[in-house]
Amino acid sequence: MSSAVSDKRLNLSAGLLSCAVALTLVVAKLWAFQQTGSLAIAATLADSAMDLMMSLAALAAIAYAAKPADDDHNFGHTSAEDLAALGQSLIILASSAVIGTAAVWRLWQGDPSLPENEGAGIAIVTLSIVLTLGLVVWQRRVAARTNNPVVKADSLHYLGDLIPNVGAILALWASSALGLAQVDSVVALGAALLLAFGALRIGKEAWDALMDRQADPEMIAGIAAIAHGFDGVHGFHDLKTRRAGSRVFVNLHIELDGDQSLHRAHAIGAALRRAILHTYPGADVLIHKDPVGVQKHPDDPSV
């Protein structure tokens, strides 16, 4: 089995496991919410429902983005990841608004009823933490092998889910042991704010990619460092980048000795491209070759 095929299967396994865990947690937390009536449980239920949607989208993105470029999509299909992420962020924002409003309303009422069957709720949330940790461990192993950014992002997202789950356990314990019913609403409000913050961050990243925002400054500086002083390259200009999903497209003009053969110029450009791809394997690199000292024609476009 080739390395590429093996990596694809590992990525798909991580996506399938993510969907299975999220679906299990949605069913379990729905039952727990019916048993307890806890808003903190409702917050983690909404978070798990969003996780399921994001995991399904991530799985689809892994499969769809892996498709090679074709006649209709010359630059590949990775922008599907950004479209999915933007839609998910809007849904997460709506859910956080509903949970936050319910929590504020209970706090405003001043004397909310205590959650019921706290033990069942704590057991379900504990199960959630155990399953989430197991999923994160597997995703980290897959990401270390394949370097897939979708798997990495999904792993970080699930790692962040542990915070509201721990908060839900504390809220249920405080309600049961100390009679502090307001803690449930406070934890739910905090979880809603965390959901909203995460949704805005995901949405901004997706929007930036759809608007062809340049790659991270560190990556741009890294590419410039590789090109600077590369054997046979006398200079470079017009380094441009843009992101589409998990892929970065790089355009670079390099300045070469105009008196050398075309074969030699091609070899230098190909070697530089390989060097960039070695450092940034997820990039799509296009290199244009200019003779040293060539002047731009006045009829050429400005961009």
What contacts 65, CB < 8 A, 6 or more positions away? Answer: 76, 77, 78, 80, 81, 150, 245, 246, 247
Six token digits for residue 88: 């998910």
Angle CA(82)–CA(84)–CA(90) in degrees, nearest 5? 105
More confident residue, 76 or 296: 296
> CATH class for domain 3-210?
mainly alpha
Using an 8 Å Cβ cutoff, are 248 and 284 in contact? yes
> CATH class for domain 217-291?
alpha beta
Does this model's pTM top 0.85? no
Six token digits for residue 271: 């070697």
Strands (E), the chain: 235-244, 247-256, 283-291
User: Using one digit for the tens of pLDDT, what is the confidence trace for 61-118?
Assistant: 777 766 766 777 767 666 766 777 777 677 777 877 877 787 787 677 765 554 555 5
Using an 8 Å Cβ cutoff, are 151 and 247 in contact? no
Domains in the chain: boundaries? 3-210, 217-291
Q: What is the rounded average pLDDT for all residues in the chain?
A: 78
Strand order in the sheet with 283-291: 235-244, 247-256, 283-291
More confident residue, 261 or 99: 261
- To which residue do tokens 């890294």 refer? 222
